[in-house]
Chain A
Amino acid sequence: MDPFHNPFIAEHAERARTIPLEEFSPANPKYMEMDVWRPYFSRLREEAPLHYCEDRIIGPYWSLTRYKDIMATEVNTKVFSSSSTFGGITLMDQREELPMFIAMDQPKHDEQRKVVQPIVSPQNLENMEKLIRQRTQRVLDALPRNETFNWVEKVSIDLTNMMLATLFDFPFDDRALLTYWSDSATANTLGGGHVDSEETRERILAECLAYFTRLWNERVNAEPGSDLVSMLAHGPATRNMSPREYLGNLVLLIVGGNDTTRNSMTGGVCFLNQNPDEYARLRANPALVEPMVSEIIRYQTPLAYMRRTALEDFEMHGQTIRKGDKLAMWYVSGNRDSAAIDNPDQFIIDRARPRQHLSFGFGIHRCVGNRLAELQLRILWEEILQRFSKVEVVGPPKRVFSAFIRGYTELPVRVIP
């Protein structure tokens, strides 16, 4: 049986084609969980590139679905704010404001970003490459052979978690906490997981802050180190942050470096199984790993959208976005826009300009960790090709219930030597 057979897609394709546009709710987390989002967004791109939705839970919001419109909005930071003062970067307005530099505007954003940016300098990435490779080798060598296991848990989570521990110089034996905090920060409270309310989330994040405050106190009086905690504790724009702002920036760095790369590590296995010809071409020519990594990140789009809030009235596509309105820039849709990308629904491992995709965002908030994420994925696939003729998907993937995080909780696989 085809593990990727989706029994719901036909029904949703029909629904997306026929229901009135006013009834569209692009941010329905079920669409991602059930993997039926594509037909909805393709109709929006065609017929309603700026779409308005009155949502019961998240309130009214606009959706942008075309590549070009998203790019133009990303660079228009005078009109479109990321600030958590107005609700931040996700559609659901947070009850407790959590300041972090991804959710700040200029000039404060720039000052704080510059503090942590050196963690991914070309020099630092070069230094980290050897360590990442050794760990990847160890994880792959320890995998069970000829036996079904969950790729998400045994490979994707383990590798991204170790990477995070290194970036923070976090006590290695406690590193599972990082994954726990990351998942807790992003969990949808309606998703049936361990975070069943905002109160629970706040309690777990308070534990995270307490732990990291110990690390801060140790490092603030030591010589400046090259880990993220030390950088924040010594950085001119961050050393006097409030505890709440420290927590916000920690959550940003933990989530930013975790879920996204993790889900790209899993997504790649899915896409190569769905496209056996591409897998064969990759095996025949391992030099294709490099462009393939960018294609995986485009095709997965680990963060489906970023939200902005309008600071003034703005005309677009004959409609007026009012001051204070919120707007989702749907990267996941822009990445499938045929006006910007040839054959966008095709997974093609050797595209001519594979990095021209929206998954990392653009403009002043463009992902800090983009080259690090690419490095981790490149090493993973280089080492997989060294060891296994195939990582075979043997059961259906389970996807995350979220309109924001596009990811997997489970992918049953076998590795074939």
Chain B
Amino acid sequence: MPRATFIDHAGESRTVEGAEGENLMRVAVLNDVPGIDADCGGECACATCHVFVDDAWLDKCGEPTELETSMLSFAATAQPNSRLACQIILTSALDGIVVETPVAQH
């Protein structure tokens, strides 16, 4: 199974496995990774699964939809490498992906 690493705001790192085809938000939630709220349950409708994708992986995640771009544009801490974890599908091409979580999810 592909692996994903989540680094929290304090710098602590957690590496977990996820099923191929599962989205990165669910992978975090199923493994009790803190720092992801996911209020909408993966509908791209809350922006509380906000992560910063490590530059080496950003391109491999594909393009965000219009809705994702809008939702991210309201996030206080958004950066050019911001994505919504529920919109990133874990595949073997993303095995080893590294993302950081923000100070808080809004």
B19 at the interface (CB under 8 A from A): no
Which residues on the A side are within 8 Å of B43 (C-beta)?
Answer: 71, 75, 362
Which residues on the B side are within 8 Å of A353 (C-beta)?
Answer: 38, 41
B70 at the interface (CB under 8 A from A): yes
13 A–B contacts, CB within 8 A, in A order: A75-B45, A75-B67, A110-B73, A353-B38, A353-B41, A355-B39, A356-B39, A362-B46, A363-B67, A364-B70, A370-B106, A371-B104, A371-B106
A120 at the interface (CB under 8 A from B): yes
A178–chain B nearest beta-carbon distance, Å: 24
B39–chain A nearest beta-carbon distance, Å: 4
A363 x B45 contact (CB < 8 A): yes
Assembly CA distance A100 to B44 (angstroms)? 24
For the complex with contacts A121-B106, A356-B41, 11 further pairs of A-B residues with Cβ separation under 8 Å are A71-B40, A75-B43, A75-B67, A117-B74, A122-B76, A356-B39, A362-B45, A362-B46, A364-B67, A366-B46, A366-B47
Assembly CA distance A360 to B40 (angstroms)? 11
Assembly CA distance A125 to B67 (angstroms)? 26
Binary B-proximity of A79-116 (CB < 8 A = 1, otherwise 0): 00000000000000000000000000010001001100
Which residues on the A side are within 8 Å of B106 (C-beta)?
Answer: 120-122, 370-371
B73 x A75 contact (CB < 8 A): no
> Secondary structure at chain A's binding surface: helix, strand, loop or mixed?
helix
Residues of chain A having any CB pair with chain B under 8 Å: 71, 74-75, 106, 110, 113-114, 117-118, 120-123, 125, 353, 355-356, 360, 362-364, 366, 370-371
Do A106 and B104 form a contact, CB below 8 Å, given A117-B76, A362-B40, A363-B45? no
B103 at the interface (CB under 8 A from A): yes
User: A114, A118, A362, A371 — which one has the most chain B CB atoms within 10 A of its CB?
Assistant: A362
A364 x B76 contact (CB < 8 A): no
Do A114 and B67 form a contact, CB below 8 Å, given A355-B37, A362-B45? no
A185–chain B nearest beta-carbon distance, Å: 24
A339–chain B nearest beta-carbon distance, Å: 13
Assembly CA distance A114 to B76 (angstroms)? 9
A122 x B104 contact (CB < 8 A): yes
B92–chain A nearest beta-carbon distance, Å: 29
Which residues on the B side are within 8 Å of A122 (C-beta)?
Answer: 76-77, 102-104, 106
Which residues on the A side are within 8 Å of B39 (C-beta)?
Answer: 355-356, 360, 362
Name the residue on A nearest B44 (C-beta).
A75
Assembly CA distance A106 to B48 (angstroms)? 21
Which residues on the A side are within 8 Å of B41 (C-beta)?
Answer: 353, 356
A71 x B104 contact (CB < 8 A): no
Assembly CA distance A292 to B74 (angstroms)? 26
B102–chain A nearest beta-carbon distance, Å: 8
Assembly CA distance A182 to B6 (angstroms)? 43
B71 at the interface (CB under 8 A from A): yes
Binary A-proximity of B43-62 (CB < 8 A = 1, otherwise 0): 11111100000000000000
A114 x B104 contact (CB < 8 A): no
A219–chain B nearest beta-carbon distance, Å: 22
Which residues on the B side are within 8 Å of A362 (C-beta)?
Answer: 39-40, 43, 45-46
B3–chain A nearest beta-carbon distance, Å: 24
Which residues on the B side are within 8 Å of A113 (C-beta)?
Answer: 74
A94–chain B nearest beta-carbon distance, Å: 26
Name the residue on A nearest B67 (C-beta).
A75
Which residues on the A side are within 8 Å of B37 (C-beta)?
Answer: 355
Which residues on the A side are within 8 Å of B46 (C-beta)?
Answer: 362, 366
A290–chain B nearest beta-carbon distance, Å: 12
B71–chain A nearest beta-carbon distance, Å: 7
Which residues on the B side are within 8 Å of A74 (C-beta)?
Answer: 45
Which residues on the A side are within 8 Å of B104 (C-beta)?
Answer: 122, 125, 371
A87–chain B nearest beta-carbon distance, Å: 23
User: A110, A123, A366, A370 — which one has the most chain B CB atoms within 10 A of its CB?
Assistant: A366
Name the residue on A nearest B37 (C-beta).
A355
B77 x A71 contact (CB < 8 A): no
A71 x B76 contact (CB < 8 A): no
Assembly CA distance A118 to B76 (angstroms)? 6
A71 x B45 contact (CB < 8 A): yes
A64–chain B nearest beta-carbon distance, Å: 15
